[in-house]
Every structure is written in structure tokens, then in C-alpha cells.
Homo-oligomer: A and B are copies of this chain.
Amino acid sequence: MPQAMAEVTLAARLQRLEDLEAIRTLIARYGPLADAGDADAVSGLWAEDGRYAVGGMHEAVGRAAIAGFITGSVHQALMAAGCAHLLGPVAITLEGDGATAVGHSVLFEQRPEGVAVARIAANRWQLRRGNSGWEVVRRDNRLLDGSEAARALFTGA
């Protein structure tokens, strides 16, 4: 193989790994930032016009609305009690400048009787490579409550 081609190949393989790393890190930042109450940093994970759809409850469109989830009374009450937004490892599918990632989220909450598991949910993230790195275009979150809607987010993972 000519020298130039070998390098292009190595660089392309490296770029793919860097993309996966960037996406995995972005998603790993969500839970800690949400539990820290850092609304700007959380919403900054999304694209300017990004969406966060919490199935059957809310859909936030744009960073200001997403930040509003964090500053809102429901999230603030959780934080005051003590909570953990644990996200599991994600399986990522890269397609050029776009990507999809799927994984679980579990919400733990301090209650008088101890720590309770308040929610178990399926998540599908759609991401794209923006000018300043990967960003979330859309996150769909659905309670794993036996409904087909949640399972559909995981199909084809």
C-alpha cells in the first residue's frame, strides 16, 4: 500500500475511535451535571435546536427549555432530597457526521425510608458532529413500564 494511503487509513480509523470516545464522554457527563444542578452545562450538551423528549410527560425544544428541566421545581426537589441520575453504558452506532446511542437510565431518590428507585427508562440519543464537536440533536426517554414505546427505543440497538 502506498505510504499516503496507509496514513489516510490510519487517520480515518483513529477519527472513528475519537468520535466514539467523544460521544461516550458527552453522555457520561449528563448524569453528574444534572445531579450537580448545572443547567447551562447540561443544556450545552445539546445542539442549539436540540430536543429532549421525556415520553408522555414533556418535550423540551432548544437549550433554554432543556435548562428549564434542571432549574424546574421537580428537579430541584429531587436535588434537595438527594438523587442520582445514573446512565448505563451506551451502544453507539456511527454514520458519518451522525450517530445514535442507546442505553438505560435509572433515577435513584433519597426518601425517608431509604433510597428508592424512582424510574427505570430506555434512552435513544441522536447526535451530530457540530462546529465545536458532537452534540445531542434529540434524546428520547421512556419509562420501562411494559409499554411498547420504551422497548421500541431499544430495538435494533
Contact = CB atoms under 8 A, between A and B. Distances in A.
Interface of A: 3, 6-7, 10-11, 13-14, 17-18, 20-21, 24-25, 27-29, 31-33, 35-38, 41, 79-84, 86-92, 102-104, 106, 108, 110, 114-122, 143-147, 150-152, 154-157
Contacts of A33: 154, 157
Chain A contact surface mostly:
mixed
> How many copies are assembled?
3
5 contacts: A28-B91, A31-B88, A35-B150, A35-B154, A110-B144
B89 A28 contact: yes
A46 to B, nearest CB: 16
A29 B143 CA distance: 18
A110 B120 contact: yes
Which 6 residue pairs are nearest across A and B when measured between Cβ atoms?
A36-B154, A32-B154, A115-B117, A32-B157, A84-B120, A82-B145
A119 B115 contact: yes
B154 A84 contact: no
Given A10-B11, A13-B14, A36 B79 contact: no
A43 to B, nearest CB: 14
